[in-house]
Amino acid sequence: MSKCAAIQMASSPNIGANLLEADKLIGEAAKAGARLVALPENFALMGESEFDKIKVKEADGSGQIQDFLARTALKYGVWIVGGTVPLEAEDENKIRAACLIYDDSGERVGRYDKVHLFDVSVPDSDEEYRESDTIEAGTGNLVIDTPFGKLGIAVCYDLRFPEFFRSLIMQGMQILVIPSAFTAQTGAAHWEVLLRARAVENLCYVIAPNQGGFHLNGRKTYGHSMIIDPWGVILDCYKTGGGFVMADIDLERLDKVRAGFPVLEHCRYFCR
């Protein structure tokens, strides 16, 4: 078994302050025994405008945020799933929302670019979001081998597309990490039910770090970062504000659940 943690933040437009907070929480999780620590979407910057992230975008492989992730993974001797980092896109007026994974020596071992973009008008509210104005969608997916199991990555709005996770299962995913910044309204309605559904239908662990609190741009995020087991049981949940959740990832239990309840073997579409 390995202890894994999901960090919750209420990030601000100040990158330096956000990185200090992330360092503090990662350090606390590592001290508590976590070997894998996952940060939420936009952990380094929740700008006053959605266009602020374009101003601070980094070249792939070099920059303040990427250097922080590499240095912090080495400093605490943990694997880090680095939320999302604004990286350069083909369109110079946009960014890629890239989730970067670093091992415990500070080496980057994976990159996933958010595929599904949050272009919605939230029902019964005046909230509108158009991520495609500032983000260039990714086109691939990612499952990597780690000491904790086969790790699949998704980001926030990806959660609403179950076929996406079937593609990860076909690559052997055992643990899903989904850094997010779910809004308060959509989170209250759908966050827990979607996370538990992804755990149950794929018989996998789910590690879900979320933004949680009020942000200076007027946005409120839902929080409730959680870790869920393959049977849909919530192992830990942190409701609001900065903090972290932690739980054991037990691959022997996962194997027993899958062997005794072989729904993935019974699947006739999209699972093979």
Q: What pLDDT, on the 0 to 100 scale, is given for residue 271? A: 67
Residue 176 confidence (pLDDT) above 70: yes
Where are the chain's structural domains? 2-266
Q: Which whole number is the average pLDDT over 41-57?
A: 94
Q: What pLDDT, on the 0 to 100 scale, is given for residue 237? A: 98
Mean pLDDT computed over every residue of the chain: 95
The pLDDT tens digits of the residues spanning 215-249 come to: 988 889 999 999 999 999 999 999 999 999 999 99
Q: Residue holding tokens 């993974």?
A: 73
**Which burial class, exposed, middle or buried, applies to 139 when counting CB atoms under 10 A from its CB (0-12, 13-18, 19+)?**
exposed
Q: For residue 26, what is the enclosing H or E element?
A: helix 15-31
Give me the amino acid identity at 184.
A
Choice among 102-116, 117-131, 160-174, 187-201 with the minimum mean pLDDT: 117-131
Tally Cβ neighbours within 10 Å of residue 88: 17
pLDDT band at 50 (very low <50, low <70, confident <90, very high): confident
Choice among 46-60, 102-116, 119-133, 155-169 with the minimum mean pLDDT: 119-133
The pLDDT tens digits of the residues spanning 106-144 come to: 999 999 999 999 999 888 777 788 999 999 999 999 999
Report helix, strand and coil shares of the chain as percent, to nearest 5: 30, 30, 40
Are 171 and 150 in contact by the 8 Å Cβ rule? The answer is: yes
According to CATH, what is the number of the domain 2-266?
A: 3.60.110.10
Residue 265 neighbours by CB under 8 Å, 6+ apart:
none
pLDDT band at 272 (very low <50, low <70, confident <90, very high): low
Q: How far is Cα 26 from Cα 79, in angstroms, rounded to an integer?
A: 10
**Which burial class, exposed, middle or buried, applies to 108 when counting CB atoms under 10 A from its CB (0-12, 13-18, 19+)?**
middle
User: Distances from the Cα of 259 to the Cαs of 149, 195, 248, 263, in angstroms?
Assistant: 17, 22, 20, 9
Structure tokens at 154: 């998704």
Q: How far is Cα 182 from Cα 164, in angstroms, rounded to an integer?
A: 18
Q: What pLDDT, on the 0 to 100 scale, is given for residue 269? A: 78
Phi and psi at 256, nearest 5°, equal -65, -40
Provide the 3-class DSSP secondary structure of residue 250.
Answer: coil
- Share of residues in the chain with pLDDT > 90 (%): 89
Q: What is the DSSP string of 112-129?
A: EE--S--EEE-TTSS-EE
User: Distances from the Cα of 87 to the Cαs of 58, 93, 216, 224, 246, in angstroms?
Assistant: 5, 11, 23, 27, 29
**Residues identified as active-site:** 41, 114, 156
